Structure 1
């Protein structure tokens, strides 16, 4: 759940904000591509104020209908869960998500691209997203600019969205909401050129994650620590590796449970893969909130009750949850030195006990 967590302007918070922003680069696996190449001129034109206005204008007329179509697809995907949402609620979520996307477009038009992008593009004639040169030199420069201002502008919109559609007694709807955003983003990006997708997709990924992963709270909790805090250094070291860790946990789980099937399908189905990796990232974020706040309250009072409500409804066994938590702890511990292990182990031990098989 998204919880209002004001971000201080301290150096420790700023350092984690920079790491948080670096998450939001184009995810090529989610883009609908007709070509892997575009000219530098095309990308520069799309990044200009006029180009951003053109992109926003193109999508603005399509958002409502595409969010409704995504809502229908989401309803079909979640039809196996009794009483998640009815037709009226589904339409309401689609309408509210369309309003969020409109707000995203208004922010997108006002922001300038990362300052390093111009420099990176000046060194190449064309951008080929399949090359290592793109991944090393260009893609990092496509991350979100000014993430703190994005948080300030979009959080009230997302809080209103959440308050309208998510209740304490039915948090199963959280998965519905995140899937609604995921599918809406995919269909909207499909209407754009490659340069436009590269520039706008990080904004859409930010929205998807804000619904369910508490990265903002991780950054806010950094304000409790000094610049030389070993706890802060540990989180700084592992936060950028969260996507890699989640993918490794998922692959190992798939290896151990190749025939596992929940109500959403087999573990290797694309949508199940995406939600599984997202869940492992959510667990990591809650772990870092607990480590930085130096207590287990967020995990015990928020994450665990959510999982206890959602997983049985989609026929995800607690054995699989238990195993994936253990795999996550293994992937984290192996990256730490002795002092860092002593810091994090009380929290990872408590997490494993909390999610152990019943």
Structure 2
């Protein structure tokens, strides 16, 4: 592990991640459960907010009024976490902890009863997105663009459908590589599906950050090193990752007009170039 990240830095950042959990639970305890969600529990409905995106109960639960309060309350904690990121000598440490945050969330949920899982899952999903996707930096970069910026318009067009894009890409991958198996299981495994869709959303977030910033620095210096470190530890196939990213680029291209292509091409091309020959880059 010391060869992956500096343990002192990772431990310091992990302490802030722990404070995120504590804040989430604090806000959760202050809330009254959504009546519709309680009805789902009484009916014995099973909800997995990390996989069942289209479930009507998922949509109801994700409309919890506490989400706005959660975002506001977590901002100071996440700001401290970002400061640790900035001060870390190895910027990959935050990425390593981000991955651990995802698996820790799954472990916590697995220890809860079904009603507890249903009530807590939307909070954890919201926070996981805040931790793994650079939303604040995307917003800051967007704020520097004029309101009539074509790049900003492109991001505003595709960012809201990033989850749908991720699901479509995963479904296509599953169709093309149905026989793929790793130590964790096949592509139809719910855990693999959830984590991969999360990663596809993360890739889109970083892609839009690069487009708004006008360079590939964030992907080259943060996302690529993170993937080179983490993918082997979770048994991700390099070849499958490359093919999936090509499918992601194809899906993005299919959702824009021909006169928008020039805005996206430098960044999708850069993404594919950076993530080509991953097996060699990982050596």
Cα–Cα, structure 1 residues 217 and 323, in superposed 2: closer, same or farther, change >3 Å?
same
Corresponding residue for 1:278? 198
Corresponding residue for 2:210? 290
Task: Indicate yes or no: 2:186 matched with 1:266.
Answer: yes
> How do 1:55-94 and structure 2 match up within 5 A?
none
Contact 2:155/2:208, CA 8 A, preserved across alignment = yes
Moved more, 300-309 or 310-319: 310-319
Task: Indicate yes or no: 2:226 matched with 1:306.
Answer: yes
For the residues of structure 1 that align with 2:134 and 2:230, how far apart are their CA atoms?
18
Corresponding residue for 2:116? 192
SS of the counterpart of 2:163? helix
Cα–Cα, structure 1 residues 138 and 181, in superposed 2: closer, same or farther, change >3 Å?
closer
Q: 1:306 deviation in Å?
A: 1.2
Contact 1:304/1:354, CA 8 A, preserved across alignment = yes
Q: Kindly report the root-mean-square deviation, in angstroms, between the aligned alpha carbons of the 2 structures.
A: 4.0
Residue number among 135, 149, 156 corresponding to 2:72 in the alignment: 149
Corresponding residue for 1:175? 99
Cα–Cα, structure 1 residues 101 and 236, in superposed 2: closer, same or farther, change >3 Å?
same
SS of the counterpart of 2:116? coil
**Bigger radius of gyration:** 1
Q: How many residues align?
A: 261
Residue number among 130, 136, 156 corresponding to 1:216 in the alignment: 136
Task: Indicate yes or no: 2:240 matched with 1:316.
Answer: no
Provide structure 2 residue ranges, at least 5 long, that are not aligned to the other structure. Answer: 46-53
Q: 1:155 deviation in Å?
A: 0.6
For the residues of structure 1 that align with 2:144 and 2:159, how far apart are their CA atoms?
17
For the residues of structure 1 that align with 2:229 and 2:27, how far apart are their CA atoms?
35
Corresponding residue for 1:243? 163
Q: 1:205 deviation in Å?
A: 1.2
SS of the counterpart of 1:142? coil
For the residues of structure 2 that align with 1:212 and 1:193, how far apart are their CA atoms?
21
Contact 2:174/2:187, CA 8 A, preserved across alignment = yes
Q: 1:213 deviation in Å?
A: 1.9
For the residues of structure 2 that align with 1:93 and 1:188, how far apart are their CA atoms?
25
> How do 1:36-47 and structure 2 match up within 5 A?
none
Q: 1:253 deviation in Å?
A: 1.2
Higher RCO by CA contacts (8 Å cutoff, separation 6 or greater): 1
Q: 1:267 deviation in Å?
A: 2.4
Cα–Cα, structure 1 residues 82 and 258, in superposed 2: closer, same or farther, change >3 Å?
farther
Cα–Cα, structure 1 residues 109 and 135, in superposed 2: closer, same or farther, change >3 Å?
closer
Q: 1:190 deviation in Å?
A: 3.6
Provide structure 1 residue ranges, at least 5 long, that are not aligned to the other structure. Answer: 1-80
Residues 3-37 of structure 1, C-alpha deviations (whole Å, 9 max, x = no match):
xxxxxxxxxxxxxxxxxxxxxxxxxxxxxxxxxxx
Contact 1:100/1:158, CA 8 A, preserved across alignment = no
Cα–Cα, structure 1 residues 107 and 220, in superposed 2: closer, same or farther, change >3 Å?
farther
For the residues of structure 2 that align with 1:166 and 1:203, how far apart are their CA atoms?
31
Cα–Cα, structure 1 residues 330 and 217, in superposed 2: closer, same or farther, change >3 Å?
same
